[in-house]
Homo-oligomer: A and B are copies of this chain.
Amino acid sequence: MYLAEVKGNVVATTKNEKLIGSKLLIVQPINPAFENNGQPLIAVDTVGAGFGDRVIIASGGSARTVFQDKTPIDAAIVAIIDSLEIY
């Protein structure tokens, strides 16, 4: 999984029916120093994340496990970060 910060959301009227009701968030991958790390991606929220939250993203088939049905998503927010402990 990787760290990311929630930057916004996507408005999309026309979409795959299994995505109806899903919150599609724009997330910026970050490193543990909270610096940008690559280009923004789109992830489905599963934990009530909001603007500015630093989160953990699970990718690929792992993202699909957050839904009962097979859903065409490849990135899901699975945790909101309280803090990082770097030794």
Interface residue ranges, A against B (CB under 8 Å): 1-3, 7-16, 18-19, 24, 26, 31-32, 37, 39-43, 46-48, 51-52, 56, 58-66, 70-76, 78-87
Q: List 15 A-B contacts (CB under 8 A).
A: A1-B24, A1-B43, A1-B74, A10-B79, A11-B81, A12-B80, A16-B76, A26-B84, A32-B40, A46-B72, A58-B73, A60-B61, A60-B74, A61-B62, A62-B72
Least Cβ–Cβ distance between A68 and chain B, in angstroms:
10
Inter-subunit contact B66/A72 (CB<8 Å): yes
State whether B10 touches A81 (Cβ < 8 A): yes
CA gap between A27 and B72 in the complex, in Å: 17
